Amino acid sequence: MRWARRAVPAVTAAVAALAARDLMQRDHALLRNFPVLGRARYLLEAIGPELRQYIVAGNNEERPFTRDQRRWVYASAKQENNYFGFGTDNDIEYTPGYPIIKHRTFGRAVPSSTPTAGHDVRLPCAKVLGGARGRARAFRPESVVNISGMSFGSLSGNAVTALNRGAALAGCLQNTGEGGLSPYHRNGGELVFQLGTAYFGCRDEQGRFSLDRLRDLVASAPVKALEIKLSQGAKPSLGGLLPGAKVSAEIAATRGIPAGQDCVSPSRHAEFSDCDSLLDWVELLAAETGLPVGIKSAVGDLGFWQELATLMRDTGRGVDFVTIDGGEGGTGAAPLIFTDSVSLPFQQGFSRVYKVFAEHDLHEQVVFAGGGKLGLPDNAIVAFALGCDLVNVGREAMLSIGCVQAQKCHTDTCPTGVATQNAWLARGLDPTLKSVRAANYLRTLRRDLVKVAEACGVEHPGLIGTDAVEILDGRTGSTPLHEVYGYRPDWGLPSPADQAEIVRLMAPEAPQGGSATPSPTAVG
Ligand SMILES: Cc1cc2nc3c(=O)[nH]c(=O)nc-3n(C[C@H](O)[C@H](O)[C@H](O)COP(=O)(O)O)c2cc1C
Ligand code: SF4
């Protein structure tokens, strides 16, 4: 007990010193009024998210991803049991906006009998990217699920490596994000190269876009398409500043900027200033590289889309794909007002843009990609029904490689090494192990999409029409998806020729149900 006799005065002295400090300081009224005790509030505020996440929150609480959603991604990534027991705990009937997918009793495609069948099924895009515009390097994306743009710089090198190898294992594309094409993107996975306003990776010493550098870059890596980033759902119309302290030699080399100096991403592109010049630039990039070229954008005012579609119809120039990012989408860092309130959520934004293209009779010629929590099967199915041909997964892919939704991506203190440049933290992420997890997750999502498509009686999620989905109003009623978003009956599907081709492509591998041959008295 001698230690206690020594410890008590020491602790008392420390508490007294702390109390004196709290009483004298002027920054926090709470501490001046409640010295020492007031500190409990700051402690609870600091660990509140963890307390809520691990102890208090229910299965369907928490955002961006609920506990159920995260558990599904984690279990899928580890190839553990990702089923849920006892039935849904969602308040289905009384939740407004809840989507219901309507299965068919006797559909054309027969669902497989075993729960795990289809895990390795191929699920190519129902349209050929760049096909409608005859691009030299047009191709059919092997996977309808691909990895969304997330730069090296916002993600660690190990995270980019894990995702790139995961993309290679799962046979899908990884978008580089606007931060350039880093050595970590060169691990076997095929790429979509993103061109942001700063033209990282393809700019000259003055920061201007360099066509020569772009040509060299795409020739040096498995780049399959180019994406011009106009905006991102979480922070449309914002530029960015990477502080000099974060511009390491590696980031500087990848982006083509000087190390250690502040690096500004402007809020607008310098290469074009309206729809007309945008289309000229698209055609230039496509002609010079042979690659399909698309745009990524969040949706706000529709004037841009009206003008773009009209010019495409009237002048013959055009984008090969359009990626719509929902306002609920993710970011490494952004002001709260932008993440919470600027740009439309995915379904509303996507359906408005799709309708503009459909009204100009261009919807069958453009490949539509979507992002904004579409790495969850239910959201993805609604996206396909609305006319999406591809879904991009960002944060869900981060979850699959270990992200715990600590939401500290903007502080460089990511505890799991995913979104940080801190070498010690990034070291914790084993890219080899996590690449397998990313691939498992991507495959599981594809499998679930095939299973739901088959339940709806079709071979491929791109063939699920708007008639297969209803949106509940939370008061025991519901509205068909096409009525909610004002679609004509045939909208949301690929052209008849593309439909026939994807049915043909899916047919040999489509798992068939039924465990025994029919009895002699069977009538059908
Ligand atoms: C850490 C992080 C970095 C991102 N970086 C980019 C980027 O460089 N370019 C871009 O277009 N979008 C970027 N995004 C947005 C994603 O590509 C995606 O559009 C968005 O998160 C929605 O998809 P999700 O809900 O599946 O995450 C980033 C998102 C995150 C979370
Ligand atoms: S663990 Fe937290 S800080 Fe790291 S990537 Fe995930 S949300 Fe961001």
CA of 405 to the centre of ligand 2 (A): 5
CA of 372 to the centre of ligand 1 (A): 9
Distance from chain centroid for Cα 398: 9
CA of 13 to the centre of ligand 1 (A): 50
- Residue 285 to residue 311: CA distance in whole angstroms: 18
Using a 10 angstrom Cβ sphere, with 0-12 exposed, 13-18 middle and 19 or more buried, the burial of residue 125 is buried
Which single residue is written with the structure tokens 């939704």?
405
Nearest to 392 by CA among 367, 365, 422, 427: 367
Pocket test for ligand 2, best of 54, 62, 339, 408 (most atoms within 8 A of CB): 408
Which single residue is written with the structure tokens 């990884």?
174
Pocket test for ligand 1, best of 331, 401, 407, 414 (most atoms within 8 A of CB): 331
Q: Pairing between strand 367-371 and 321-325?
A: parallel
Whether ligand 2 lies within 6 angstroms of the CB of 30 is answered as: no
Quick one: which atom of ligand 1 is closest to the CA of 196?
9
Q: Both tokens of residue 147?
A: 């990895």
Phi, psi for 15 (deg, rounded to 5): -65, -40
Q: Pairing between strand 293-297 and 223-229?
A: parallel
Q: Given phi > 0 = left and psi -120 to 50 = alpha, else beta, which region is 260? A: left
CA of 504 to the centre of ligand 2 (A): 42
The residue whose CA has the least distance to atom 4 of ligand 1 is 150
Residue 514 is predicted with a pLDDT of 56
In this prediction, the residues of the chain whose per-residue pLDDT falls under 50 are 510
Residue 510 is predicted with a pLDDT of 46
- Residue 451 to residue 105: CA distance in whole angstroms: 14
Q: Does the predicted TM-score (pTM) go above 0.95? A: no
Report how far apart, in Å, the C-alpha atoms of 99 and of each of 92, 197, 474 are: 9, 37, 11
Rg (CA), the chain: 25
Mutual orientation of helices 275-289 and 211-219 as an angle, nearest 10°? 50
Whether ligand 2 lies within 6 angstroms of the CB of 407 is answered as: yes
Whether ligand 1 lies within 6 angstroms of the CB of 393 is answered as: yes
Per residue, the 3-state secondary structure of 193-262, as one string, reads EEECCCCCCCECCCCCECHHHHHHHHHCCCEEEEEEECCCCCCCCCCEEECHHHCCHHHHHHHCCCCCCC
Whether ligand 2 lies within 6 angstroms of the CB of 324 is answered as: no
Dump the DSSP string for 401-454: TT------GGGT--TTSSS---HHHHHTS-HHHHHHHHHHHHHHHHHHHHHHHH
Q: Both tokens of residue 205?
A: 């010493």
Quick one: which atom of ligand 1 is closest to the CA of 64?
25
Which single residue is written with the structure tokens 């980019």?
160
- Residue 228 to residue 44: CA distance in whole angstroms: 43
CA of 373 to the centre of ligand 1 (A): 10
Q: What's the CATH class of domain 145-458?
A: alpha beta
- Residue 208 to residue 494: CA distance in whole angstroms: 38
- Residue 28 to residue 26: CA distance in whole angstroms: 6
How is the chain split into domains, by residue range?
Answer: 1-56, 145-458
